[in-house]
Amino acid sequence: MNAGVRPTLTLALSKGRIFDETLPLLKAAGIEVLEDPEKSRKLIIGTTNPELRVVLVRATDVPTYVQYGGADLGVTGLDTLIEHGATWGAGASAAGLYQPLDLQIAKCRVSVAVRADFDYASAVRQGARLKVATKYTSIARDFFAAKGVHVDLIKLYGSMELAPLTGLADAIVDLVSTGGTLKANNLVEVERIMDISSRLVVNQAALKLKQEPIRHLIDVFAKTVAARN
């Protein structure tokens, strides 16, 4: 990459599982990231394609970077998109974001969990009131509203499992993968709200201005995802 020359495309990714599981999709397009983000402090990383660079941002910030043009496209979880306020679904678009593809990576679920000794069935009877700790306030609010349960939402950003154990909340709404962390903290998963996977999101203006390279990536990703399933 030539110094001072901005690549044609900027892809926003978050470190961790989404980054790791996006790499094979990029490889299918003949693109490899030049540095390991776990070993480098750089927040902008070049690739073997001089026209594409990767910017590393917090998972919750990916939709914002794409929406406002800090990145042309990005990969983010459905949970993050819902909390961001975007309409979701295949090909959905809202708030400056186009969502052409479910990449079927970083799969997990959003679930309700409580202490093993908590009577959840009685607590969620029609008209009941429940204290719920979560980072996913929109998802939790809509879920319990549909059940006719009043909730006092307590927004937390980490160590969610502590909330029921300390009496801060009756239940938590959080991402669950294997369930190992819940079990280790004497919590049980009592309801599965929705399955989560990561989506490709594209800035709508970029899609018009840089249609050819973006469409190429979408097509390669789509073929790779289809071949896996």
User: What pLDDT is attached to residue 105?
Assistant: 97
List, in sequence order, every residue forming a beta bridge with 176; answer none if it has no partner.
109
Instruction: Give the whole-angstrom CA distance, residue 110 versus residue 140.
Output: 9
Which of 107, 173, 184 is closest to 142 using CA atoms?
Answer: 173
Say whether both 35 and 134 belong to one domain: no
Instruction: Give the whole-angstrom CA distance, residue 25 versus residue 171.
Output: 37
DSSP label at 126?
A: T
Q: pTM to 2 decimals?
A: 0.88
User: What pLDDT is attached to residue 3?
Assistant: 46
Instruction: Give the whole-angstrom CA distance, residue 203 versus residue 54.
Output: 15
Say whether both 166 and 115 belong to one domain: yes
Q: Report if residue 2 sits inside a domain.
A: no
Say whether both 102 and 201 belong to one domain: yes
Return the ∠ at Cα 208 (arms to 205 and 209), rounded to 5°: 85
Q: Report if residue 124 sits inside a domain.
A: yes
Q: Report if residue 190 sits inside a domain.
A: yes
CB-based contact 156:134 (threshold 8 Å): yes
Say whether both 101 and 113 belong to one domain: no
Say whether both 158 and 113 belong to one domain: yes
Say whether both 94 and 53 belong to one domain: yes
User: What pLDDT is attached to residue 99?
Assistant: 92
User: What pLDDT is attached to residue 23?
Assistant: 97
Instruction: Give the whole-angstrom CA distance, residue 84 versus residue 221.
Output: 24
Say whether both 102 and 135 belong to one domain: no
Say whether both 90 and 46 belong to one domain: yes
User: What pLDDT is attached to residue 95?
Assistant: 56
Q: Report if residue 3 sits inside a domain.
A: no
List, in sequence order, every residue forming a beta bridge with 87; answer none if it has no partner.
none
Domain enclosing residue 91, as ranges: 9-106+197-228
Say whether both 88 and 189 belong to one domain: no
Say whether both 99 and 146 belong to one domain: no
The count of domains in the chain is 2
Q: Report if residue 4 sits inside a domain.
A: no
Instruction: Give the whole-angstrom CA distance, residue 192 versus residue 174.
Output: 10
Say whether both 85 and 190 belong to one domain: no
Instruction: Give the whole-angstrom CA distance, residue 201 versus residue 137.
Output: 22
User: What pLDDT is attached to residue 2?
Assistant: 46
Tell me the C-alpha to C-alpha distance, in Å, between residue 111 and each of 80, 195, 209.
15, 9, 40
Say whether both 98 and 112 belong to one domain: no
User: What pLDDT is attached to residue 20?
Assistant: 96
CATH number, domain of 124, equals: 3.40.190.10
Q: Give strand ranges (E) for 135-177.
A: 150-155, 171-176
Strands ordered across the beta sheet of 97-102: 44-46, 52-56, 9-13, 73-77, 198-203, 97-102, 93-94
Instruction: Give the whole-angstrom CA distance, residue 202 versus residue 73.
Output: 4
Q: Report if residue 1 sits inside a domain.
A: no
Strands ordered across the beta sheet of 108-115: 150-155, 129-134, 171-176, 108-115, 187-196
- The pLDDT averaged over each successive group of 10 residues in the chain (229 residues) is 63 96 96 91 94 95 95 96 70 68 96 96 87 96 93 94 96 95 96 97 94 95 93
